[in-house]
Structure 1
Amino acid sequence: MPRPDNLRRPRRRPQGPVDHMGVLVPWANVMVETELPDWTDRQVVWHYARLAPPNKETALTGDFLTGLIEATPGGLHQLSRLPLQRIYLACTSASFTQQNAVKQATASAPVEVITAFDALLAALDQFGARSIALATPYPEQVTAIEVEAFSAAGITVTGSASLDLDDGYADLAPAQITDLVHGLIDGSVDRADAVVLSCTAWPTRIALQQLRRTLGRPLISSNLAICMHATRKAP
């Protein structure tokens, strides 16, 4: 048993009021609850509700994404009695592939619902970025849909790269993410105002730290974008 003096000292309580935010999390996603508290450092209290698709799958397929949206009203109900400022839908791929369905599913939410894709757009606006290099773990066809979604939002994608995976994102090593970004060809990163690591389910915190040392431009992940939106400042 560790001695009391070996235990980590509790952090100081934040000065002033603390915001309470709700988060709708895909049921097998373990990175949202790992990264959000680290980046906000007790400026925000996060309250989570799990979205379990009816087919009980975890692979990124059309049925999985549709199932997450079907589960959204139930997730909102779980959060409905809490004193929340906002609720975040922490699934980027559902955010940009199911935009109309998300609006319908969240129309009766007690507070504003911000999707992970909304948060990415807000973060890019905060940095004044109008062009990006995009890296994702998604299947290539899903990444192509995201490129179109960014274009529709007025963001030019100078280049994109995908690991072409439909599951197992939390098991990825930081080196796999940094190699993916460094593998972008034809000067995609050099021509971009920012680099986006899309997806809330892969571990981006260490990868972002490593990439910042070499790329010399803003880097944003889905989870970081949610934190920036929740705190209204870059962590």
Structure 2
Amino acid sequence: MPQRPEGTLALLARLDEGSSRTVRVGVLLPWANVAVETELPRLGLTHTVFHHARLVPESRTTAVDDAFWNGLREAAAGALDSLSHVPLDAVVLACTSAGFTGGPELPPGVITAFDALVGALASARLGRVILATPYPHPVTAAESEALSKMGIDVLAHASLGLDDGYPAVSAEEVLALVSALPEGAVRAADAVVLSCTGWHTLPVVRDVEQATGKPVVTSNLAIGLLAARISAGAAL
């Protein structure tokens, strides 16, 4: 019987236990995002301190579109300045979709949650994935294409078709979305990706891993894995 792959939460704990130093990670948050600050502390990382600053787009909107993404990226410099007296080991713009939809350049050294997601998949050698998101369908298709350009094969993807209101998505809705993915793609995949930092996915990670037999990588878990790899001295 084939060995069940290591779950993402178990991998995170193992990295944290092997950490050699405490790191500080700046987290630049979309202004309406509540999931990141809820989930990152619950990861139990004993060698990571997360420092938050909020990004207010010029449009002062919350629905995902070009004005929102561009506004977040433009606000990154000011938010980073608010953390200028904190000795940071990494800075993450905690929006996944802002990482593959283009827009203004980010300040040097700032990566996005999409970059963290790609890094988590690459470091674990999870090259074939199935993708589930709350995004509008064209945005999910754009992410699938962006992942493919990074060498990650998306075997199937599904989305809720929402442009806003991600914190209100229930655990049942996330599980139903994953269960609707084609069985053949699930069997062939190396991992399940739950993309977007704005919906609450941590409560369903173990359930999805149990149902699919695959490790689950979420956007917020990817930020945690980035921090844990830095503190463990692993290559990024």
TM-score range relative to shorter protein? 0.7 to 0.9
TM-score by length of 2: 0.86
Tell me how large the CA RMSD over aligned residues is: 1.6
Per the TM alignment, residue 184 of structure 1 is displaced from its structure 2 partner at its CA by 0.6
2:209 aligned residue (204, 212, 225)? 212
Measure, in 2, the Cα distance between the counterparts of 1:224 and 1:17. 20
Unaligned stretches of 5+ residues in structure 1: 1-13
Divergent runs of 4+, >2 A: 14-18, 40-43
Establish whether residue 168 from structure 1 lines up as the match of residue 165 from structure 2: yes
Counterpart in 2 of 1:199?
196
TM-score by length of 1: 0.86
Worse-matched range after superposition: 42-51 or 19-28: 42-51
Per the TM alignment, residue 113 of structure 1 is displaced from its structure 2 partner at its CA by 2.2
* SS across alignment from 1:47: strand
Per the TM alignment, residue 140 of structure 1 is displaced from its structure 2 partner at its CA by 0.6
Measure, in 2, the Cα distance between the counterparts of 1:26 and 1:42. 25
Establish whether residue 83 from structure 1 lines up as the match of residue 83 from structure 2: no
Establish whether residue 135 from structure 1 lines up as the match of residue 132 from structure 2: yes
Whose radius of gyration is greater, 1 or 2?
A: 1
* SS across alignment from 1:118: helix
Measure, in 2, the Cα distance between the counterparts of 1:85 and 1:150. 25
Size of the alignment, in residue pairs? 213
* SS across alignment from 2:121: helix
Counterpart in 2 of 1:185?
182
Establish whether residue 105 from structure 1 lines up as the match of residue 106 from structure 2: yes
Establish whether residue 73 from structure 1 lines up as the match of residue 71 from structure 2: no
Measure, in 2, the Cα distance between the counterparts of 1:70 and 1:171. 27
Measure, in 2, the Cα distance between the counterparts of 1:74 and 1:150. 29
Given residue 49 of structure 2, which amino acid in structure 1 is its aligned partner?
Answer: V
Per the TM alignment, residue 189 of structure 1 is displaced from its structure 2 partner at its CA by 1.2
Measure, in 2, the Cα distance between the counterparts of 1:217 and 1:32. 23
2:24 aligned residue (16, 20, 23)? 20
Worse-matched range after superposition: 37-46 or 202-211: 37-46
Per the TM alignment, residue 123 of structure 1 is displaced from its structure 2 partner at its CA by 1.1
